[in-house]
């Protein structure tokens, strides 16, 4: 998205404090519905220049997001907003290289001419770099972002269609197949759940606000006083408890550790008397912890860590404990010890 109106439009559609984001910095945010503040989709927004933003949304929400942006851009133009241009990157690849050895695997492929070291690139930052391929060819400048949806150190590499497979093959070749392996969404799902990260369509949806989802931190500091974003009238009062003059929220997203069989999406959460107090939205056995973990929404008052509840799995109540997230500490590269 480009143009003098790009930041203004994105500030209307999301609660992000975009003014504070430096060039090649990024933030997690959400597109919001105007009246309810419900989440249309979660997104990563990266500033590539004073008036240029690179936006990554969920592929599963592609049609929905394009319709949402088309409608809102047209409304922006009709209302006299400053000029905005946007481009959908058709046939663009996005490679997620994740894990503690991701930097040592990627660094040997960097262009030697620049002498760039990945230790200079911190979590949430990005840079354009050329990569050398095993056949001696060099790629076009690729946007490389340090981050990913696993809780691990890693990189997301945006590639033109014709360079996607060669770059994947170069990563597999350079790291060796015992070090770098192709992974499916099942692996990503267990990692993001261990990291306490939401999955759209499960833990987030059109009926859920950022405050209910435990994502209040994505609301920029100045946005909390200025508002001006979609759904602000519904969302901002939720930040304050009823006793302090706000509305608060009736339910909250929490983590759970479940005994016995793993709890899956849709399982009911009940209190000691068997009364329904919530639902599971994601759940699986944790490969790292060797425990069954889950995420869900629970009635306010039962959301504090250490609260004992029950989850109904296959018709039987299983003991569960509200647990702080992330379940497994995140390992993002923010400086200090050498990555990897």
- Which residues touch 285 (CB under 8 Å, ≥6 apart)? 190, 262, 291, 292, 293
Whole-model pTM: value is 0.94
| pLDDT above 60 (res 209) | yes
Q: Is the dihedral of CA 196, 198, 199, 202 positive or negative?
A: positive
The two tokens of residue 209 are: 């606000």
Residue 190: closest CA among 251, 262, 122, 253? 262
Fold of 1-88+219-249: Alpha-Beta Plaits (3.30.70)
- The CATH fold assigned to 92-182 is Gyrase A; domain 2 (3.30.1360)
Question: What mean pLDDT do residues 176-182 have?
Answer: 83
Domain range list for the chain: 1-88+219-249, 92-182
Q: In this predicted model, what pLDDT tens digit does every residue of 80-106 receive, in sequence order?
A: 999 999 999 988 999 999 999 999 999
Q: What's the pLDDT at 175?
A: 73
Residue 57: name the closest of 88, 36, 85 by CA.
88
Name 221's Cβ contacts closer than 8 Å, sequence gap at least 6: 17
State pLDDT tens for residues 240-294: 999 999 999 999 999 999 999 999 999 999 999 999 999 999 999 999 999 999 9
């Amino acid at each position: 998205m480009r143009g003098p109106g790009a930041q203004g439009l994105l500030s209307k559609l999301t609660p992000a404090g975009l003014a504070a984001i430096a060039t090649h910095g990024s933030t997690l945010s959400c597109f919001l519905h105007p009246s309810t503040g419900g989440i249309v989709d979660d997104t990563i927004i990266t500033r590539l220049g004073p008036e240029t933003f690179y936006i990554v949304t969920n592929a599963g929400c592609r049609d929905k997001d394009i319709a949402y942006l088309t409608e809102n851009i047209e409304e922006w133009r009709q209302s006299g907003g400053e000029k905005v241009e946007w481009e959908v990157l058709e046939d663009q690849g996005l490679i997620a290289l994740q894990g503690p050895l991701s930097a040592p695997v990627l660094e040997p492929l960097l262009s030697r001419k620049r002498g760039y070291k990945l230790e200079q690139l911190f979590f949430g930052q990005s840079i354009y770099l050329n990569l050398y391929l095993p056949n001696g060819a060099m790629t076009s400048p690729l946007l490389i972002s340090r981050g990913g949806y696993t809780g691990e150190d890693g990189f997301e590499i945006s590639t033109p269609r014709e360079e996607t497979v060669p770059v994947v093959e170069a990563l597999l070749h350079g790291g060796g197949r015992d070090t770098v392996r192709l992974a499916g969404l099942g692996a990503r799902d267990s990692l993001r759940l261990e990291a306490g990260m939401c999955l759209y369509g499960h833990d987030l949806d059109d009926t859920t606000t950022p405050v209910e989802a435990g994502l209040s931190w994505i609301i920029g500091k100045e946005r909390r006083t200025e508002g001006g974003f979609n759904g602000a009238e519904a969302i901002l009062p939720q930040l304050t408890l009823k006793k302090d003059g706000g509305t608060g929220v009736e339910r909250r997203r929490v983590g759970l550790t479940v005994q016995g069989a793993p709890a899956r999406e849709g399982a009911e959460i009940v209190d000691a008397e068997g009364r329904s107090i919530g639902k599971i939205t994601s759940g699986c056995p944790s490969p790292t912890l060797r425990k069954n973990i889950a995420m869900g929404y629970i009635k306010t008052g039962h959301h504090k860590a250490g609260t004992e509840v029950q989850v109904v799995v296959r018709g039987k109540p299983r003991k569960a404990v509200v647990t702080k997230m992330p379940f497994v500490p995140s390992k993002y590269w923010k400086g200090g010890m050498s990555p990897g």
